[in-house]
Amino acid sequence: MDTERLKANRKRSKTLSYLKKQNIMLSESIRKYVSKNMSELSENEIDMSKAFVGNLLKCANISLYGQTGNAIKLITSITCNHKLCNICNWNRQKKVRRKYFNWFASNETLNKITINGDIKHVTNANLNKYLNSKPEKLKYDLMHLTLTVPHSRDGWKGKKIYFSEIMQAFNQMRKSDEWNRQVYGGEYGVETTRNTGGYHIHIHSLLFVKQGEQNRNRLHLDIMRLWNRLTVDKSNERVQFTENQIKAIKKGNKLMDDVFVNKLNPQGATLIGLECIYTLDNGIKTRTKEWGTDAMMMAVMETISYHFKPKLFNSSEQTYDIETIVEVLPKVYKKVLYRKFGCLHGEKSLNVKDDTLLQDYEETAEEVDEETGEVLQTHFFITNPLNVYAKGTDNEIHVKRQAIIKNLSAKSGREAVKQVIDLSIPKYK
């Protein structure tokens, strides 16, 4: 393993051990909270909390490491796949970022095809589904969309927690002609925080947008009009805009005038975040139009990372909002909060859950002793990340003395992964 890969692996191992400790702390906090508030919680909240505690405690307990010479590296872990698990969100974030990074490298254009009079925008991988079509190559701009709703402590439209409602509104907007004339597709995730003003449930989306003059401002106008209408909450106390509110609304788009603002409903959303990819030059935003630049990829990766924040309900650097977690757990159970749409719908190379441990495993080249040229043998073993720690400025990985480990007889990393799969319950397919 080369020096850079070894450093990255050590950092990954250190992060896994840290997040495992965070899972333990979180599980204990939830257990204490549930025990203390048992009479005030619903049966569903209690059951879901107990199940989540179980997931946190078992996640990554079976972690595979390899030791070559004195160097120890992390290979893989059996995880719980829970939406709110620190380790699993970290894993998803890494996987999705890697998949999109690789995908963009070979998808500078999309394909516009016409089927029975209907226009479709498809990726290169999905073009084989339309063998008789004559595709037109399309370049696109990437934009980061953030959507919020006019919520209060009581929630939005009578719902304190409104995951389904905000996703339904977004889905409805994507069916409009205004949207489809300008947006080829994209992906989105629903993020949740809570403060003194109640739950703040919002959408972050990466959009593939038709290129054109002032396409950001024109799309922003249409989204503002559509989203404002779709998010009207009759219980919203705001019935007219103040002069300062009108100025704030117009500030985000030079095409927006008083006539446009006066047609908006004060009881609907008026804050739309839509950003092109840009770089900062002496504090001034400069739009990035060159394909494949570091600025482009950094912006894309940053947008996607919103969907899988390891500390989704962390209210500070030290503490979790346990009340929020317990209340939300039943609401997110079996609910898909991350989706692809339009041109990315059916793009299997960007799926995360379809991966097995073997698909996700990357076999590295054999390591050789620099002096003798002899191929070094790797010893594989399983242990809990709590037994592993990083030491020194190079984060060199060590295993604690008297740690419980299970040695494997595997001769390769792939064989070791297969043995881990066989040992895990439930088994990976």
What is the full per-residue pLDDT of the chain (429 aa) written as tens digits?
A: 578 888 999 999 999 999 999 999 999 999 999 999 999 999 999 999 999 999 999 999 999 999 988 889 999 999 999 988 999 988 888 888 888 888 998 899 999 999 888 889 999 999 888 877 889 999 999 999 999 999 888 899 999 999 999 999 999 999 999 999 999 999 999 988 887 778 889 999 999 999 999 999 999 999 999 999 999 999 998 999 999 999 999 998 999 999 999 999 999 999 899 998 776 667 777 677 677 777 788 778 878 877 776 445 555 556 788 998 999 999 989 888 889 999 999 999 898 775 667 666 665 655 544 555 555 688 999 999 999 999 988 889 999 998 999 999 998 888 999 999 888 865 544
Residue 140's beta-bridge partner residues? 210
DSSP H or E stretch at residue 15: helix 3-36
Residue 68's beta-bridge partner residues? 71, 378
In sequence order, what DSSP letters do the residues of 169-210 get, joined into one string? HHHHHHTSHHHHTTEEEEEEEEEEEEETTEEEEEEEEEEEEE
Checking phi first, is residue 424 left (phi over 0); if not, alpha (psi -120 to 50) or beta? beta
Instruction: Round the CA-based radius of gyration of the chain to a whole number and report it.
Output: 25
Global confidence as pTM: 0.87
CA–CA gap between residue 235 and residue 411 (Å, rounded): 66
State both tokens at 270. Answer: 């008026």
Q: Are 215 and 222 in contact (CB under 8 A)?
A: no
Q: What are phi and psi of 47, to 5 degrees?
A: -65, -45
CA–CA gap between residue 272 and residue 55 (Å, rounded): 37
pLDDT at 429 (0 to 100): 43
pLDDT at 32 (0 to 100): 97
Q: Are 325 and 194 in contact (CB under 8 A)?
A: no
Give residue for tokens 């990466």: 206
pLDDT at 354 (0 to 100): 59
Q: Where are the alpha helices (DSSP H) in 233-308?
A: 243-251, 258-262, 294-305
Let me know the angle formed at the C-alpha of 338 by 333 and 342, rounded to the nearest 5 degrees: 140
CA–CA gap between residue 102 and residue 124 (Å, rounded): 14
Q: Are 24 and 57 in contact (CB under 8 A)?
A: yes
pLDDT at 358 (0 to 100): 60
First to last CA, the chain: 29
The neighbour count for residue 124, using CB atoms within 10 Å, is 16
Q: Which residue in 186, 157, 160 sits closest to 173, CA to CA?
A: 186
State both tokens at 271. Answer: 């804050």
CA–CA gap between residue 238 and residue 368 (Å, rounded): 70
- For the chain, the structural domain boundaries read 3-81+366-423, 92-350
State both tokens at 132. Answer: 């008789």
- The number of C-alpha atoms within 13 Å of 83 and in the hemisphere containing its C-beta is 20
Q: Are 301 and 204 in contact (CB under 8 A)?
A: no
